[in-house]
Amino acid sequence: MHPEILGKRNRLAVALAAFLICVVVAAIVAGVAGYYIGHSGGYNSGYNTGYSEGYSKGRSEGLAAGAERAYREGYTAGYNIGYTYGFSNGTLNVAKALYMGLKDRIMREIVQVSAPNLPSKIKVGCLMALTGELGPMGVEIAKGAQLAVALVNRLGGVAGRPVELILEDTGTDPSKALTACKKLVEVDGVKVIVGPMASGEVMAIGSYVNERKVVLISPSATSPYITLNFPDDYVFRVVGSDTAQAKALVKLALDAGCKKIATLVLDNPYGVGIEDVVSSIIGDKLVVKIRYDPKKMDFRTELTQIKGAGVDGVIYVGYYEDGRVMFRQALELGLDNIKWFAAEGVYGDPMLVVPESAEFMNRAVVGTRPLPPLVSFYDEFLEEYEAAFGVKPAAPYIEYCFDATLMLLEAIAKAGVYDGAAIKQKLMEVSSSFLGASGYKAFDKVGDQLMQIYSAWKVVKEADVYKLIDIGIITP
């Protein structure tokens, strides 16, 4: 073949090959580009669509779940408060329709009752801590029983019989409480007792009063252990169990955002009872548990332990005397940067007489106490109290002691005999409709108050004067 023709053919083949290579390369490039563009576009489209739909659905379901939880909690809180108010208000309306007031009830149910088999004098024992850790509070609470007896006697007595109140000091000591109780029963011959105040004291004498069939009502003993140790017995109380108060303290701590919590409690049934309930609720968030002896009156070791644990909240259970020292030393150690949540044992004006203690409470402490009654005969009680003592009540549980005494006297009048078993039976009947200074006092089957709601309190400083104020309602 002619060389020129052969050269043209070769050039044509090379050009064709180059063209084909370009086509292949272009196809590959286009394919790769298409793959990546398609993949990316598809991914982005899918991601964006999925994200959008997932976000919308998740947000919707999250809002729904949050709304449902808020609804449940709001409903429960509203129901509890509404039920208590409505029930108490209904009871008050019935009471006022029947009696027109507290003194009218006393006249109709205690004074004007016919009970020929009652003795010529009605004896009521009263066990109060007039000395010891609870002494300052006990002196005040005893005034509730003294006022009730004085009022009934002024109006005519129990079925016309005068009432004698026999007051004994427990010294805030379970063993002394038992000794004083035996004196009331075996020497004075009482069949009913108001008190004692502390849970440990009640537990120390519970078995004894059961054996002797002596009816006992505590105005202030709150430990859950009382219910566990003495079910269906002669031991009653006109205040709620600390199972509810412990839940209220936990709610305060968790609502305040606390993640690491310590309990600092009296080493007695009152303190340990609250500690046990707190521990069962918050589990691992409870990182330190400290129990202390209030009699030693120096708590720097316990407070240093709390400071070193890195906690952001302390649930505290104490009394006046040890509480004042505890808070003063806590201020000295700089523990006012931790949130403290205190039970009702340190609620009261006696806590404010030590400036350092009051200042620590002002800076760091929020507490709980039984809610002042929404509906009650408290105003009439307050009028009688101020007339008798010249001041307003200065401690918690005074009105509870007043009511406990009146309930026992009404049960005696209804029983018609001074006999523990008969009085106990009538006491359950009396409680079902009793509305007193501290509210509605219905007992459950084991002698505990049916319902208890708590108030949150704090200390404020106004014009260099410290005072206690209520800041809210807690429904455990």
Looking at the structure, do residues 359 and 396 belong to the same domain, yes or no?
no
Looking at the structure, do residues 153 and 286 belong to the same domain, yes or no?
no
Question: Is 17 among the domain residues?
Answer: no
Question: Is 302 among the domain residues?
Answer: yes
Distance separating the N- and C-terminal Cα atoms of the chain: 109
Which residues lie closer than 8 Å to 60 by C-beta, 6 or more apart? Answer: none
Residue 361: name the closest of 474, 469, 246 by CA: 469
For the segment 173-206, what is each residue's pLDDT rounded down to a tens digit? 999 999 999 999 999 999 999 999 999 999 999 9
Looking at the structure, do residues 167 and 247 belong to the same domain, yes or no?
no
Would you place residue 433 in the very low, low, confident or very high pLDDT band (cuts 50, 70, 90)? Answer: confident
The packing angle between helices 398-415 and 135-155, to 10°, is 40
The segment with the largest mean pLDDT, out of 78-92, 328-342, 445-459, is 328-342
% residues pLDDT > 90 (the chain): 64
Predicted pLDDT at 26: 46
pLDDT greater than 50 at residue 380: yes
Predicted pLDDT at 376: 80
Looking at the structure, do residues 226 and 293 belong to the same domain, yes or no?
no
Tokens (6 digits) for 420: 């523990």
Would you place residue 90 in the very low, low, confident or very high pLDDT band (cuts 50, 70, 90)? Answer: low
Q: How far apart are CA 248 and CA 473, in angstroms?
A: 10
Question: Is 199 among the domain residues?
Answer: yes
Range from 34-38, 118-122, 225-229 carrying the lowest mean pLDDT = 34-38
How far lies 268's CA from each of 221, 341, 444, in Å? 12, 19, 25
Would you place residue 30 in the very low, low, confident or very high pLDDT band (cuts 50, 70, 90)? Answer: very low
How far lies 172's CA from each of 128, 178, 204, in Å? 8, 11, 12
pTM: 0.71
Sheet holding 122-128, edge to edge: 163-169, 122-128, 192-194, 215-218, 235-237
Q: How far apart are CA 411 and CA 391, in angstroms?
A: 30
What domain range includes position 180?
A: 94-242+390-448
For the segment 249-261, what is each residue's pLDDT rounded down to a tens digit? 999 999 999 999 9
Looking at the structure, do residues 111 and 225 belong to the same domain, yes or no?
yes
Using DSSP's 3-state secondary structure scheme, residue 316 falls into strand
Average pLDDT rounded to a whole number, residues 90-107: 65
Would you place residue 55 in the very low, low, confident or very high pLDDT band (cuts 50, 70, 90)? Answer: low
Helix (H) or strand (E) run with residue 84 in it: helix 3-99
Identify residue 472 by its one-letter amino acid code. Answer: G
Q: Domain total for the chain? A: 2
Looking at the structure, do residues 292 and 394 belong to the same domain, yes or no?
no
Q: Is the peptide bond before 196 cis (omega within 30 degrees of 0)?
A: yes
Looking at the structure, do residues 235 and 250 belong to the same domain, yes or no?
no
For the segment 152-177, what is each residue's pLDDT rounded down to a tens digit? 999 999 999 999 999 999 999 999 99
Question: Is 229 among the domain residues?
Answer: yes
Residue 470: name the closest of 363, 349, 376, 371 by CA: 371
Looking at the structure, do residues 147 and 100 belong to the same domain, yes or no?
yes
CATH number reported for the structural domain that contains residue 294 in this entry: 3.40.50.2300
Question: Is 52 among the domain residues?
Answer: no
Identify residue 221 by its one-letter amino acid code. Answer: A
Looking at the structure, do residues 219 and 353 belong to the same domain, yes or no?
no
Identify residue 283 by its one-letter amino acid code. Answer: G
Which residues are registered as beta bridge partners of 266? Answer: 292
